[in-house]
Structure 1
């Protein structure tokens, strides 16, 4: 089971991915490991079927599919972890990475920006700064131009 916090991190906006929807795969990892490097299956791949998940409502599923479309293969999100020497730590890292990915993708989009105008004083200051900068640069030009 993976618990994905909501945007605010509070319990109310949480999404829980059931353990039966998660698929684990283990393989040999490259990198350090000493004598056990060729025998221990410490690399972890965690996959979750976003398109077929029963833990999601339709709005969240659509947001996830759209936000993660570059990472999905046939609607399945795969996260790999092999930075640690122990499988247990790589499991934890993969679970955390999956939770972070899903949390950022499932978050509702921020409200649209209200279009505002700059104040008259700000416009005058901008124009004055442009005139000042222009005269500074004009002094750097060759006199015959």
Structure 2
């Protein structure tokens, strides 16, 4: 190429435009292949929570309750994802014990991993239960405050 062709603004714009099209195609591919169905219930829950909030003065309890609702919604979605495939099946009880030592070690490692997953799931469920209890408490306080506001208005 000649010196004039390498410094041509048309060539530079063409290269930048081509790269822009490639980036746009990449993001379009990512967008079309993303699982939208999994995210829809969370957004619906958030939208319904936002629309059900009173327009009057928002207290810190209400803000905390909405944050907990968001956390619970994401935890419920994660719980649904883990419930689709069971961690423990009945064939564990009837499975034969491997006679080869290396296979037995692999089986022990697999069962230890399974036990860790179950312990983690138990921990998550206990945390969700505690969050639900706290949410119920905050909702009761919110109802009391709303009843007081209604009583003051009348």
Structure-2-length-normalised TM-score: 0.30
Which structure dedicates a bigger proportion of its chain to strand?
A: 1
Which structure dedicates a bigger proportion of its chain to helix?
A: 2
Structure-1-length-normalised TM-score: 0.31
